[in-house]
Homo-oligomer: A and B are copies of this chain.
Amino acid sequence: MNVIVDLCVVPMGVGVSVGKYVAECQNVLREAGLEHQLHAYGTNIEGDWDEVFAAIKLCHERVHAMGAPRITTSIKVGTRTDRPQSMQDKINSVADQKNS
């Protein structure tokens, strides 16, 4: 089952600057070979359900290992059975409306 995910990992108990933890999650996604795109409030990821969620679990493990005692993460997950759809398709479906 293919998924498009939006991931936002928030480490708690490590102060206000969390860029290095988010960067480590980007490393996890890259090492997993998952297509992903950082934005200002999270990261879009595309791939097989099991591979994507294995990577998200590894993000939690790595961020805890870096010293964060608590993590709260928001995830949005989209699946569809009617037709395949990539992250770029989703963006195009909005842009197409604007141009029509």
Please report A residues at the B interface, Cβ cutoff 8 Å.
1, 4-6, 8, 10, 12-13, 15-20, 22-24, 26-27, 37-42, 44, 46, 49-50, 53, 56-57, 60-61, 64, 69-82, 87-88, 90-91, 93-98
Contact yes or no, B98 A23, CB < 8 A: yes
Query: In the complex, which residues of chain B have a beta carbon less than 8 angstroms from the beta carbon of A94?
Result: 19, 22-23, 26, 38
A56 to B26, CA, bound (A): 24
Q: How many copies does the complex hold?
A: 4
Residues on B with beta carbons closer than 8 Å to the beta carbon of A44: 39-41
With contacts A79-B64, A82-B70 taken as known, whether A93 is within 8 angstroms of B53 at the C-beta atoms is no
A72 interface neighbour in B38, B76, B93, Cβ under 8 Å: B76
